[in-house]
Every structure is written in C-alpha cells, then in structure tokens.
Amino acid sequence: MVSDWPKAAVVGWPAKHSLSPLIMKTWLDETGQPGDYAIIECEPDAFESAVRERFHAGLVGVNVTVPHKETALKVADEASDAARAIGAANVLVWRQNRILADNTDHVGIARALESDSGSGPAVLIGAGGAARAALYNLKDQRRDIRILNRTRSRAEALAAEFGVSAHIHTLDDAQAYQDASLVINATSLGMTGQPPLTADLSGTAEDALVFDMVYAPLKTGLLAEAERLGRRTADGLVMLVGQARPAFGRFFGASAPDHDGVRQGLLAELERRA
Ligand code: NAP
C-alpha cells in the first residue's frame, strides 16, 4: 500500500527546482526501499505550521532549503551539535511527536574535502550559511584560515563565533591565496545569473584543492581556472549528494548506495536545464 510507505519531502520557497527529489527517488529505486519523496513550497511565515501539519499527517522527515534553514532550527525540539554550532538545520525528522534537527551540509563538505591535506592555509570565500558549515569542518584544524567576504563585519563575526583566529580579506585580495592548500567558494558568485567570482589562484600551492559549492554551472569559472593551473577540484554536486546521504538514511532507514549512479542522473538533469 502506497499510503504505508515512509514519505519525506524538501521544503523551500521556492523549491520546485530542487534536485533533492531526483536524488532521493534515485536511491529509493536503487535500494528497492519503499518510500516517496515530495516537494513542499511554503512562504517563510508558514514554515512551522506547514511542517508540523505534514508530520502529524505521516511525513517522516524533511530536507530544508532556502530560506528556511534558520527557522528550521528554531522550531525543532532537539538539535544535533552540528546544527546548533552552524545555527541552521537542513534536515528535520519526526520521532515520537518531536522534531529533531540536524545539519548535514558539513557532511557533504567533508565529502568534497576528502582529499584535502588538512594542513596549509585554507581560503574560505563567503560568510553566509554555507560558509558557516565549512568553517564548522575547518575550525579544529591547525592551519591558517583566511576568510574573504564582501561584508567584512560578517566575516569577522563568523570567525569570532567559531573561536577561529582567521585573517579577514576583501574579495579582491590576491594575497589571500598565497600558498593556500585549500580554496572553498561558499558564495553564490559564479552561479548562473550571478556575477563571476574573480580569484587569483596562481599563488596557491601546486597540489591545492579548489572546491566550489556552486553547481549551476557545474564547472564554474573558479574550477575552470583551477583546472587550467593543474590544481585539484571538487564541485558542488559532491556536496549536494554528500549532504543528502545521511538524510536518506534517517528518512527511509536504509543506506544510500555508495556509487556514482545518482551523479549521472544529476548531470543529465543539469544539462537539460542549462
Ligand atoms: P547566504 O547565506 O545568503 O550567503 C551568501 C554569501 O554570498 C555571503 O557571503 C554573501 O556576501 C555572498 N554574496 C552573495 N552575493 C554576492 C555578490 N553579488 N557579491 C559578493 N558576495 C556576494 O547563502 P548560502 O546559503 O551560504 O549559500 C552560498 C552558496 O552556496 C550558494 O551558491 C548556494 O547555492 C551554495 N550551496 C551549495 C550547496 C551544495 O550542496 N552544493 C549547499 C548549500 C549552499 P555578504 O555576506 O557580503 O552578503
């Protein structure tokens, strides 16, 4: 019976272009796990009532996307350490009439940074929600952290909140990249329809890893420049799939397949949309 299947959804405003249904449905098909996954679009004011109503009606959990991630943490009855530290939740699950919040963006980031040495200067571009998740991953590493952001005060506040003694730079400061072994773009710069990100990667370490969270386009200007210089790269789809994996487990009680099948589907979908 379809009605007995666990059901989950992505909640956002807007959400109709979310890639989460494609990811979750691919994994449901691949694992043979019964389940369904929907899209819920709701305006910011309606978030809590929309989610609670659906939980009471049988929804097992939701992925939360823009602009609800901070509200999601506030409405939760319990939150993971990561969600509290990052100050936002991208996953809510319903357990025994309680809302549990988690933030799995840092898991997706860890996946993208798997080949990072963990040492050498790290450049973090951005100071918004995605940058917070990245700094959560970097904060305990013994390395020089450099944060570049349009709004300097936001970068300073971010570093202070995580207790990181980071160097703060403007977006156009080429010096910030000198000898860097890791560069992360956590802004929307370089995304289709947004201004480009101008970064001088020529001074980065030869074996530097350059990770761009943007996935539309998949090969951003930053990644193209990194490739041209022979640097290693990780793209936004690695993070997107990486953050979805633990959520799938929590919603449907099965492990997501650890192969690249879902990436192929996402690449085809991005190509279709381009
Ligand atoms: P956010 O909280 O709104 O932060 C946006 C960041 O981008 C801020 O640092 C902001 O600087 C900067 N920015 C925006 N427009 C700018 C402009 N015109 N010039 C200079 N800086 C600009 O957004 P977010 O949630 O952190 O998301 C950031 C990016 O990460 C987005 O591209 C998003 O798609 C991507 N992301 C990807 C994944 C994934 O799974 N791959 C997951 C989450 C997010 P100010 O502080 O100066 O405003």
Is the same domain home to 249 and 163?
no
Is the same domain home to 41 and 82?
yes
CATH number at residue 75: 3.40.50.10860
Q: What pLDDT does residue 8 have? A: 98
| Cα–Cα distance, 4 to 59 (Å, whole number) | 11
Residue ranges making up the domain that contains 136 = 115-234
Say if 108 falls within a structural domain: no
Indicate if ligand 1 lies below 6 Å from the C-beta of 213: yes
Q: Which residues of the chain register pLDDT less than 70?
A: 1-3
Q: What pLDDT does residue 3 have? A: 60
Indicate if ligand 1 lies below 6 Å from the C-beta of 199: no
Domains in the chain, number: 2
Give the residue whose CA is nearest to atom 31 of ligand 1: 188
Is the same domain home to 8 and 71?
yes
Q: What pLDDT does residue 2 have? A: 46
Is the same domain home to 13 and 99?
yes
Ligand 1 geometric centre to CA of 186 (Å): 6
Ligand 1 geometric centre to CA of 139 (Å): 19
Torsion of the alpha carbons at 151, 154, 159 and 163, rounded to the nearest 10: 160
Indicate if ligand 1 lies below 6 Å from the C-beta of 103: no
Say if 110 falls within a structural domain: no
CATH number at residue 132: 3.40.50.720
Closest ligand 1 atom to the C-alpha of 108? 40
Say if 268 falls within a structural domain: yes
69 is catalytic: yes
